[in-house]
Structure 1
Amino acid sequence: MATKAKKRAPRARGGVRAGVARLRRWAVRLVLGAAALVLLWVLAYRWIDPPTTPHAVSEGLRLGRLERTWVDMEQIAPVMARAAVAAEDANFCRHWGFDVDAIRDAIEDGGGRGASTISQQVVKNAFLWQGRSWPRKALETALTPVMEAMWPKRRILEVYLNIAEMGVGVFGVEAAARHHFGKAARDLSAREAARLAAILPSPRTRDPAAPTPASRRRAVMIEDGAATIRADGRAACFED
């Protein structure tokens, strides 16, 4: 009997090892499958306009309403595109998703200011969730260069301008232009575009139609910055 028990033990251990190996293979397949689906999702949005975003859905449920109208880049005033870049990511045309200089400056500043590029914000808003957490930041860091490789810069900016929060329950530049100024995004003036861009860091607490003195000063700086990036070529990647 003892001999038979000894014979069964190696077989049992072998069965356990085989089961663990099968679980590992399935786990690898699931991870690879999930990664493939995410890559297809990112690639699809190069041509398909995102129907909504996780944050917009959340805000719609919270508020019971939502203002959002998608418009192509051709229907957005060029000054608006330049103002957004000047305000949020002046080197947008010169990086591959991460602005190393901005990151270095933020670190030297003690983390008191953000260094997220427009590309990072698109990844966060279109594919991920809001909030500060290491898992979200890790996914954002992994997906940003993937999106940059798959999409042209003009498309990245187009999506950004259509999904950015620009007021309480207001998403995208078309809805924001109509909500704050009573006009279409294509008709925005340079000053109005700069005032809209000035609220992007805190869209729920700032009103571009009635800016505070600080917001007004920031808008003037953004308007000057928009003219500068047009003159020095930093707007070339998203303008015809």
Structure 2
Amino acid sequence: MDGRVDIEAEGKPERKEAPVRSRGFLSSVRGAVRRLLLLAVFLLLAPYLLIVLYSVPSVRPVSTLMVADLVLLRGYDRQWVGLDDISPNVVRAVMMSEDGQFCFHGGVDWTQMQGVVRQALDGEATRGASTITMQTAKNLFLWNGRSFVRKGLELPLAMFADTVWSKRRTLEIYLNIAEWGPGIYGIEAAAQHHFKVPASRLTLRQASLLAVSLPNPIQRNASSPTRGMTRLVSVIERRARASGDYIRCIEG
């Protein structure tokens, strides 16, 4: 009987357990992947939570460029001012230069966007179709440069911001985080830097020069305009004077 037991025991295959080190490695990989997924979800959702927070008038947001300047120890100049302390000339000039339909769209100007898509599909050079709301979302949460990834993130952020913020709040944030030169952020710092006056005293000419420099504030100097900038300023001045109903949503 003992022999039979021995034979049966010898015939059973031995179980090979996975090495403890291998199981530990797989567990670590799964944990790392889980943490990366949680981080990705957090990074995607955080801007939406911040949009809600930024609806509070006393909160003064900073842009990603301003954060980068701090991280790189360059510093920056930004003095927050409320919309009521900004010259109406700035409001008219910037809106007519950057987003003439600001009062009428829901964060994204789909008519302009469709035109850009058609141009891209036809292989033509595309013009910008970013609204003030889209630029505000980009400046607060994303990065510069053209890419479909950034645009895909920017569109829902702009639409959500437009549902949470009033038009006045959107413009107030935009004018206080826009870049007007290396380390120069916000309309108050821009007015002081380029024209030595507070934002409340900017003339239509000065406001138009600042508006024209917005698309490329590093190469376009509002206080030292090129001939091309001067021609654009004349166009913006005419549009600003005739803005009328186009800026009705900003009137408090």
Q: Compute the TM-score of the two structures, normalised by the length of structure 1.
A: 0.82
Partner of residue 65, structure 1: 75
**CA-CA distance at 1:147 after TM superposition:** 0.7
Change (3 A) 1:28 1:215: closer
Partner of residue 117, structure 1: 131
Indicate yes or no: 2:116 matched with 1:106: yes
**CA-CA distance at 1:133 after TM superposition:** 3.2
**CA-CA distance at 1:28 after TM superposition:** 8.8
CA distance in 2, matches of 1:121, 1:99: 12
Q: Compute the TM-score of the two structures, normalised by the length of structure 2.
A: 0.78
Partner of residue 143, structure 1: 157
Change (3 A) 1:94 1:29: same
Partner of residue 214, structure 2: 200
Change (3 A) 1:206 1:29: closer
Task: Map Cα deviations across residues 17-71 of structure 1 (whole Å, 9 max, x no partner).
Answer: xxxxxxxx99998777666543321100111210x22112223555723121111
Choose from 204, 222, 247 the match for 1:235.
247
CA contact (8 A) 1:60 1:169 kept: no
CA distance in 2, matches of 1:33, 1:204: 33
Aligned residues: 222
> Which stretch shows the higher mean deviation, 39-48 or 131-140?
131-140
Unaligned runs of 5+ in 2: 1-11, 16-33
**CA-CA distance at 1:127 after TM superposition:** 1.5
Change (3 A) 1:168 1:36: closer
Aligned positions of 1:61-210 closer than 5 A? 61-62=71-72, 64-109=74-119, 110-210=124-224
Counterpart secondary structure, 1:237: helix
Q: CA RMSD in A?
A: 2.8
CA contact (8 A) 1:79 1:190 kept: yes
Answer with 1 or 2: which has the greater Rg: 2
CA distance in 2, matches of 1:89, 1:220: 17
**CA-CA distance at 1:106 after TM superposition:** 3.0
Unaligned runs of 5+ in 1: 6-24
Indicate yes or no: 2:27 matched with 1:49: no
CA distance in 2, matches of 1:98, 1:153: 13
**CA-CA distance at 1:219 after TM superposition:** 0.7
Identical columns (%): 38
CA distance in 1, matches of 2:48, 2:159: 12
